[in-house]
Structure 1
C-alpha cells in the first residue's frame, strides 16, 4: 500500500522518487506505483496532474504540471524536481505578485455576463464528511483559514456581475468573517439515511444567501451529529470564485486544517504562489499580444457555419433556461468506463478528451445520417464548444496549483471526420481508430489548449466584435475529470450528493442548445462515467437529445471494443518530430513494418 505523505512536518530533503510514487498512488487511487510508471500511462489527466503538483509542493518538492504529464516515468519526473525547504518561498520576480485590490475581469467572467440573466447565486457545492465531534468552533476556524488564504473567496462586486461600473475588488484577509457565513444545524437526532435530504434543504437556503455585492461568495453549513458520529460540512461557493480544480485544493486544505486542530495548533495554510489577481493582470496583457492576435483568423475559421444541424453555430441569446424536464443523466459502468478512461487514451498517446469527443462527433454524424441529413456535408464537420480547466503555462514563473478561482476556458473545436462508415464504427472497427486519430490531431493543434479564444473574444476590443458575430456552437462539452466517491473517511465526499455540479439561477439562459457535462467517479467498484445532458426546450426536442445521448454511449462502447483490436494503437503526426509527415505516411509505414515483423 502507498504510504501517506505527511503534510505538517516535512523532511528537509524528501526522496523525490518515493514521494512522487506515493503522490501518484494517492491522486490516482492506486495501491502502489512503480518508479517506471508514467502518469498518463496510469490514466492520469491534466486536472489530476495539478493535484500532484500541489501535493508535491506541500511535501517539499517543486515540479511542473507539464512535466508530470510529459515525463515517461516517475524516475524521469523526479530528475526534474527540485527540493523546497518547509515554509520557504520559491524564487520569483523582484516585484511580488499582486494579491489584493481591483480585479481585472477574466474571459470566463465576460462569458458569464454575456448570458444576460441572473447569476447572483450561480454556485457550485460540495458536501464532506466531518470527523466525529467537529463542532462550530472547529468549523469557524477552518472556514476562516480558507477565507484568509484564498483571496477570491473574499471577492466583492460592488455593482454586481457584468456591470460597467466599479471593478471587482479583492479585500485584505480578515475582512470577511467565517462566523457570518456559517450555519450550525443540530443533527444529533437525524438518522444517517435522512442526512442527504436535510443537507440539500440547508444548501438551498445557503445559496439564496450568497451576495457578490456584499462579498459573501461562500456559505457553509455544518450538520453537527455530536461526538459519536460523523457530521457533514456543506460548502456553497459562487461559481465566479471556484472551479473543479479549486475544489480539490480546498478539500486538501480541509484535511490540513483538521490535522492542525487535532494537534492543538491554529490552522495555517500556504498561500498560492500565483494569486488570481496577478493571473488576471497577465491575461489582460496577453489578450493583446502578438502571439494571441495571430490566432484570430484560426478561431474565425473554426466558427464558420456548416450545412447540417448541430454542426454549425447559432446567434447568441434566445435560449430557454435549464430545467429538470430537459435534463438526462446516463452512467457507464466500470466494465466499460475503466478501460475507456485509462487504457484507451494511451493507445494513441492521447487524452480522455480525445476519446470522449471522438465518440460524441461520431454520435452526431450518426444522428444526422439517421435523419437522412448528411448527404450535403462531405466535410463531416461537428462544431463543439469545449471547456478546459484553463490553468495553462502561458507566462513564465506562474504556479497555479494552489490558486482558487474560476479559470475555466471555453473554445470552439471543429471536428471534420469526413464520411466514416458509421455501421463499422458502431462495431468498433477501423473507422473508430481513424476518427480517434483525426480528433486527437485537431485537439493537439489547438494553441495552448484554447486559452487564446476567450482572450480574443472577451478581452481584446479589436478581435472581440468579429468573433462574437460568428455566433456560438450549438453543443457545449465539459469533462470534469475524476472524483473519488464512496469513501467513508473524514473529508471524503459525502454520499447522496453530486460533486460540485453547477447550480444556475432561475431564468439564466443556456449558453448552448445542448450541453454535456461528464465526470468520472471512483467508487468501491471501480470507475464509472456519468454524463448529464441538458438542452434548451425551445431549441431541440427531448427525444432527439435522448437518442443522441444513447448514441454517444454506443460509440463509447465501440471505442472500448476497438481498443481490444491488435491494430488499435497507431502513431499520429504530432507524435513524431519529422516535418510534413502525414497520417497516411504513418499508416503506410506501420503497415509495412508490421509485415516485416
Structure 2
C-alpha cells in the first residue's frame, strides 16, 4: 500500500486530528500523523444511558429538556424493589395489557406528529403457560445496576411500505422469545429468573409509527429515544421497541430501542439481517420459524458454572491474573461515569489491508486490533494512559458457541480480562509492516486461543457460581476494553456504558472503513493524553495493515 493513508483521527463530527501514513517495509518508520492545530481537535460525549427501570411507577419524561441537558449517563435503580408485592406487580401488568395505547411521551403539541400503534400480533394457537429459564451471566451482572439501553437506527428504502416494515417486526418478535422475556421471582430462591410468557400474555405493543410530512421538521432522534426508553421494563417483558420514523413523502428510519438484558452485538446482527430479509419480502414473506436451542443453551451455561471443570478453570484464571503487575494509581475517588471520546476513521483501503493481515495468519480482525494495542503499549511505555490502564484488556466472549449457533437472540456475551504482551518482537520492523508484524499477530492469536472455553467460563464462574465469584472478583478485571463489530447497514446510536473502565475502545465497520472510538474517563485522562495514545495505536495498526497489504500482493 506504500504511503497510502490509513486513516484520520478527530471528533465524531469529523474534525481532523491528523493522518496516519506509513512506508513500505524497509523504509523509514517515521509517523506522519502530527496534529495540525490543537484547536482543531474536539472531544465528543459518547451516548451511553442506563435505562431507569421501576416496578412501582413509570419514569416521567421531561419534554422541556433538550439532549444537552442530559448527563452522558443516567443512573438506574435496581430491577426489583424488595418492597414490591407480586400481586401488585401482576395487577399493574394486567393494566398495561388492557391499555389501548403505549405511553409514548413527546411534545406532540409542538411538533404535531401523529403517533400510530401497530396492531399487536395475536397467535392463532397460543401456548397456555409461561416457560421459566435460568438467568444469563450478563443478566446477573445487571441486576444491581439496572438494564442498559442499546439503540440502533436503520434506514428504510423508499419502496418499502410501513405495512412491510410491520410485517418484518412481527417476524422478528415471533422468532425470538427472549425479546419477550420477563424477570420473575419464582419463589424458589431469592434471585429472579427469566420467564418467557405464554403467547396469550404477549400483549406489549412493540411497534410504533411516528409519521411526519415533507412540510414538517423531522423529530430529533434523541427525543424519540428518550421517550421510548422510559417504556422499557423487563419485569413486565417490555424489552424492545421498533419505532418507524418518517412517512410516505419523506425518508423513513427504523429506530430500535432495547435493553441490554436481551440484546448484545450478535443479537443486533441477527435482528438487522432478519428485518432486511422480512420487509423485502413484504406480504409474501415465509412463515416465521421459532428459534431453537434457547432453553438448552441456558441449561448448559447453568450446569457449566458449577460443573467439575469449574474448579480447574478458576485455577487458570488465578494463575494468569494474580501475577499481573498493578496498574498505576490515579482513578481512586474519580467519577468514571463522566465520559468523553476521541475518534479515528480508517479508510476502506486501510481496513481491507487489516482484514488481509488477519486472513494471512488465520486470525480475526479483533486479534489484529488487539495486536496493535499490544504494540502501542510498548511504543507508549511510561505515558499516562499506558501506565493507568495496565496490561489487562477486557475482551468479549460469546456463549452461543456452546449451543453451536450464532443466531440466538439474547444477551449471551460477557467480558473477560486477559493480560496482553509480546515477546522477542522487533517493534521497529513491525511498525513498517515487516516480518515481525506477522509474528506479533501470531503471538496474540495464540494468547487468545489459550483462554479456557474462549473466555465464556469466566462470566459463568463470576456471575452464576457464588462459590467461585469471590475468588474472581479479587483478581484484576481490566481497566481497558477492546471490541470490533460489523452492524452494517445499521448505525449505533446508543451503546452500553462502560462505567468501570478508564478506556473503552470500539471499532465499528462502516461503509467508509472503520470508525474507532476511544471513550475515556474524563476525570482521569485529558483529551490530549488519550489522543497521543490513539496515535500510537493507529501507527501500530498501520504497520500491521502494511504487512497485510504486502501479503495480499503476494
- Residue 188 of structure 1: CA displacement? 2.2
RMSD, aligned α-carbons: 3.4
Contact kept, 8 Å, 2:165 with 2:279, in 1: the verdict is: no
Change (3 A) 1:112 1:120: closer
Which residue number in structure 1 is paired with residue 492 of structure 2? 499
- Residue 149 of structure 1: CA displacement? 2.4
Change (3 A) 1:541 1:419: farther
Which residue number in structure 1 is paired with residue 296 of structure 2? 278
Instruction: Deviation per CA, 1:347-388: give whole Å up to 9, x if none.
Output: 2222212211111011122222457999xxxxxx82211113
Q: How does 1:154-553 map to 2 (within 5 A)?
A: 154-158=180-184, 164-177=190-203, 180-189=205-214, 195=218, 198-226=220-248, 230-259=251-280, 261-263=282-284, 268-275=287-294, 277-307=295-325, 309=327, 320-323=335-338, 326-341=340-355, 343-369=356-382, 382-392=391-401, 394=402, 398-418=403-423, 420-480=425-485, 482-485=486-489, 493=490, 498-499=491-492, 501-504=494-497, 510-521=499-510, 523=511, 528-553=513-538
Q: Distance in 2 between matches of 1:219 and 1:338?
A: 35
Q: Distance in 1 between matches of 2:173 and 2:384?
A: 53
Q: Distance in 2 between matches of 1:372 and 1:458?
A: 29
- Residue 230 of structure 1: CA displacement? 4.4
Contact kept, 8 Å, 2:152 with 2:493, in 1: the verdict is: yes
The answer to which structure, 1 or 2, has the higher relative contact order (CA under 8 A, 6+ apart) is: 2
Which residue number in structure 1 is paired with residue 114 of structure 2? none
Contact kept, 8 Å, 1:134 with 1:231, in 2: the verdict is: no
Q: Distance in 2 between matches of 1:565 and 1:142?
A: 44
Contact kept, 8 Å, 1:130 with 1:231, in 2: the verdict is: yes
Which residue number in structure 2 is paired with residue 94 of structure 1? none
Contact kept, 8 Å, 1:125 with 1:501, in 2: the verdict is: yes
Q: Give the one of 117, 120, 136 matched to 1:106.
A: 136
Q: What is the DSSP-based 3-state SS (H/G/I as helix, E as strand, rest coil) of the residue aligned with 1:416?
A: coil
Change (3 A) 1:159 1:318: farther
- Residue 344 of structure 1: CA displacement? 0.4
Residues paired across the two proteins, number: 423
Normalising by structure 2, what TM-score? Answer: 0.68
Q: What is the DSSP-based 3-state SS (H/G/I as helix, E as strand, rest coil) of the residue aligned with 1:209?
A: coil
Contact kept, 8 Å, 1:273 with 1:400, in 2: the verdict is: no
Change (3 A) 1:212 1:566: closer
Q: What is the DSSP-based 3-state SS (H/G/I as helix, E as strand, rest coil) of the residue aligned with 1:147?
A: helix
Which residue number in structure 1 is paired with residue 44 of structure 2? none
Q: How does 1:7-26 map to 2 (within 5 A)?
A: none
Contact kept, 8 Å, 1:142 with 1:254, in 2: the verdict is: yes
Q: Which runs of 5+ in 2 are unaligned?
A: 1-128
Q: Give the one of 108, 128, 151 matched to 2:155.
A: 128
Deviates more, 1:328-337 or 1:165-174: 165-174
Q: Give the one of 529, 543, 547 matched to 1:558.
A: 543
Normalising by structure 1, what TM-score? Answer: 0.63
Q: Distance in 1 between matches of 2:245 and 2:499?
A: 33
- Residue 184 of structure 1: CA displacement? 2.0
- Residue 473 of structure 1: CA displacement? 0.9
Contact kept, 8 Å, 1:354 with 1:436, in 2: the verdict is: yes
Contact kept, 8 Å, 1:358 with 1:435, in 2: the verdict is: yes
Change (3 A) 1:150 1:391: same
Instruction: Deviation per CA, 1:422-461: give whole Å up to 9, x if none.
Output: 4444333444333222211111212232111111111223
Q: What is the DSSP-based 3-state SS (H/G/I as helix, E as strand, rest coil) of the residue aligned with 2:193?
A: coil
Q: Distance in 2 between matches of 1:537 and 1:104?
A: 37
Change (3 A) 1:253 1:370: closer
- Residue 242 of structure 1: CA displacement? 1.2
- Residue 405 of structure 1: CA displacement? 0.6
Q: Distance in 2 between matches of 1:567 and 1:128?
A: 34
Q: Distance in 1 between matches of 2:251 and 2:481?
A: 38
Change (3 A) 1:320 1:241: same
Q: How does 1:54-65 map to 2 (within 5 A)?
A: none
Change (3 A) 1:139 1:435: closer
